[in-house]
Structure 1
Amino acid sequence: MTIDDKQLAELELLATKIRLDTLKSIKHMGQGHLGGSFSIVELLAVLYGKQMNIDPENPQWEERDRLVLSKGHAGAGLYSALANKGYFSKEWLWTINEGGTRLPSHPDRQKTPGVDATTGSLGQGTSIAAGMATGFKMANKNNYVYLIVGDGELNEGQCWEAFQYIAHFKLNHCIVIIDDNKKQLDGPTEEIMNPFDLQKKMEAFGFYTLKVKGSDIRAIDDAIVLCKTIENQAVCIVLDSIKGQGVSYFETLDANHSVKFNTEEVNQAAEQAISELQQKIEGMIEDVYAK
């Protein structure tokens, strides 16, 4: 079902909160994977705000849907989504990657409530998601597994082995989502290892594949809804996103894969963005309650 205007406003508010807390937590840490966290903010808002069957008060609920963030370096974005949904206190966000933290730089399912898979070694999350979906199918369960994989991560051959497996066994409850933000650690993906047309590649692998704008909450939600109607075929959504999405300075920053807050320019840009996002949230809260 297409989301109505009130639901859209609520999801846009959640996305803005996630983006703000991601920026604040990474800035507090001094450096971190901002670009790839920002590019999946709207997706995370749709998943945790509407699509996923979850219970933040019972993170280990067996009937919950699972999320596998294979691009584990975007952990700060995931943590902000979890905190905003009430899995843990937002105070935890200021401890990312510190000694004794419950929030390591890359997700760890044994440390963080709401994290379903330990990831970080690129490519491995694809196999984890395939295994989860296989287990649910064998047990005749309807749980969904959402796999978020980066476009640069697709340099790993393991991804394509997992995709072939998912497609062959028609694991349609494993929704593969490729974050096509066009950049990876060393530069543009088309220069490092040209991915060509990801939608056509996934279709060639046997997936029913949709491509949507990564900042369009309604389009993302519609795509997921449509994927859930597909039977007897694997499904994939390609997010046409922007690295650093949602803050113009970080969208255009060349080194936005892992941002270091060690110059006056970067810190001033971050402070301005924080102020603007906070003001935006205040206005959006009024709008949500007015609907």
Structure 2
Amino acid sequence: MSRIALLALLFATPVLAEEVNVYSHRQPELIQPLIDQFTAETGITVNLAFVDKGMAERLKAEGSRSPADLVLTVDIGRLMELVGADVLQPVDDPVLEANIPAEFRDPGDLWFGLTSRSRVVYASKDRVKPGEVTTYEDLADPKWKGRICVRSGLNDYNVALVAAYSLHHDAAETKAWVEGLKANLARKPQGGDRDQAKAIWAGECDIALGNTYYMGQMLADPEQKDWAEAVNVVFPTFEGDGSHMNISGMALTKSAPNKEAALKLMEWLSSDEAQKIYAETNHEFPVKPGVERSALVASWGDFTPDTLSLADIAAARPAAVKLIEEVDFDN
């Protein structure tokens, strides 16, 4: 074959575009701005599949045939489920190590935090005075009897909070606290975090547990704005420590057919640019040092994060679930 013919053949052969397949616990609209910007900058297509439940089981069933390269989750418990299912592979990457602090990374490099959030108290502006609730321990005080709303005790976020409580207190104290919290409920646990703010607005209760970022989502929704404006965000602490934290995170699957492109996405998600977009879009706290919180999130005030290891909290979750079921919290 002549040189000219060879060159013609090379130029005629289509170049396969890079792509990344992502399984996400997060609603697509919450991360689409990130995906769009990444694709615009790199030309890499991101195929996003929303997997609300059963991600670990799905990846395990798919095995080496799984198309998923990367997973995005909303809770440390979900990440640890994936670790336990043995469907992830470690990522030894200097960029991720430099951008994401050690407390937001798995010691074995199987998962990496992207944003953090705190489990806070929504407190009625009209019926709760500043300083009335300052600790998680306060929530079991009889003065709140009939005044607290909460979603299911078995929700991932509440399980993580109980798990964290159990690491700050002994078993008897933790059980007494869960029972005390249940005794103070104004109604049966139900709905999501936004529903608890709505209940406060409607006068059904005075305080509730919720994640910080839901406040931003409600303020951006004309139908829910009044709910958010009816409450103050209070950062309670564990006595002698800080406010309970959780993360959204990412991990590389064991199958990862597009590993190189997936690593580019992971690195980009940890960058200043992506962390800022994430913070502005989802009203969460960036994990990369030096990236500022959004103006709205900053307006809720400063707080001291709890010092517990996320891995330790995840390890305490099974016992927390057992306790929540034992006290029949949701009934």
TM value normalised by structure 1: 0.28
Report the TM-score, using the length of structure 2 for normalisation: 0.26
Max Rg structure: 2
Greater helix percent: which structure? 1
